[in-house]
Amino acid sequence: MPKPKLLPHEHALVVAGSLKDITHSKATAVWLSTESTVVDQLKAIPVTTVYRHMGDPEVAHLLEHRQLPSTQPYQTIVEGPDGRVYCEGYLRGHRKPSGNVITTSVEFIAPKRLIDQLFLMFRKPEDGCISHGLGDKGGKGLPLFNASLIAGETTFKIILVKRK
């Protein structure tokens, strides 16, 4: 079986050493991964990690515009290590997405005050974590999150890719 072709941004991340190919010899997909960021809570402005699983169109929009599109009705973000495990479950087949084909998990480093504000606006128990829906069927916090991305207060990196 031929090896799936990586998207240009995925290939560039592998070449730069930002993602590592962790594909095993009998895999039917290419797997790329990196470690989570360790945040320093002693910074002047405390930050936290939140994670989002997404498909190729959403990733392309994020890379091009440095913000999330308003195309997803719920648009989950989940905080911390349990959030990463939750998001990766969509790529590993533990959870079924509604609609989109999920190919990528993205880690965001965001001001703790922003994430606390979003989770006060809306929160929902998930499997092993609490989610905030940025979209219209959630807490409607997408404009706040995107403003933080555009201002450079929130940054992101791709942490897991499954390419078939």
DSSP characters for 62-116? HHHHSS--S--SS-EEEEHHHHHHHHHHHHTTSS--SSSPP-EEEEEEEEHHHHH
Q: What is the pLDDT along the chain (164 residues), one digit of tens a residue?
A: 567 899 999 999 999 999 999 999 888 899 999 999 988 766 788 999 999 999 999 999 999 999 999 998 999 999 999 999 999 999 998 877 777 789 999 999 999 999 999 999 999 999 889 999 999 999 999 999 999 999 999 999 999 999 99
User: What does the DSSP 8-state code read for residue 103?
Assistant: -
Write the single-letter amino acid at 26: K
Spatial contact of 54 and 91, defined as CB atoms under 8 Å apart:
no
Q: Which two tokens stand for residue 41?
A: 């809570």
Full-model pTM: 0.94
